[in-house]
Structure 1
Amino acid sequence: TDMHSQYILVSLNLYFSPKTFHLKSFTHLYLPILGGNAPGKSCAFPFFYNKQIHYTCISDGESSEKLWCSTTRNYDVDKKWTYCSTSGKPCVFPFIYKKFKFHTCTNLAEASGKFWCSSTENYYQDHQWSYCPA
């Protein structure tokens, strides 16, 4: 399978009332995985790649120019990686949004339907986020 078509299954139980929306528990919702061989893991900065030290996400060198990072301190040894979010800031998993803990990107509360992630552990505290790679 292509890494961009990998998904995980979570459950979601929605409760709607006239003026509110509550997320109570989970029921069959497919969420995309960022890709790489360590999806859902946070970037480990700084990390070694090709005997050089990197402090930010780096280009994958393909025409898509997607950014990636190592999920361990030494990619040359461990070969573990994941794609970074579109802003180049790594997603931090898990993160808290609307009192729920997310272990992957979500499109909750995103009118465009695009998937996003928090760049910190607590979105409400820091308000830092970016879109996840498609």
Structure 2
Amino acid sequence: MNGWLLAGGITAFGVSAVHIVAGRRDVVRPLLSCGLADEPKRVFHAVWHMVTVDLVLSAAALLYLALAEDTSATSLVAWFVAAHFVAYTVVFLVVTLSVGWPKPLLRLPQWILLLPVAVLTAAGAA
């Protein structure tokens, strides 16, 4: 068993849960009730669901890798998932820092949830 990947998978499931609960309340409901045209509104809604699926599948993959026998593909898939979460982290940081808000790192704190998954997964892949 790979403890780093197990921790990464559990953390990723936690991130998924936060995304589902808080995202529905703070992002999806306001989005669906805003005055945006229906097509872009539904595209954003679909993308939110796609991210939900992505987060859950990544968490499941990490748990599988943590509990499965180590194979040559384990490290490759783990590095892919780590890079995936690093990319999500970077996207949130770039978007947040480009707006010019005061205390921007706390305005969109999703990167704080995503970065630990990347670090734990990279540790397990190494």
The interval holding the TM-score normalised by the smaller chain is: under 0.3
Name whichever structure is richer in helix by fraction: 2
TM-score (norm 1): 0.26
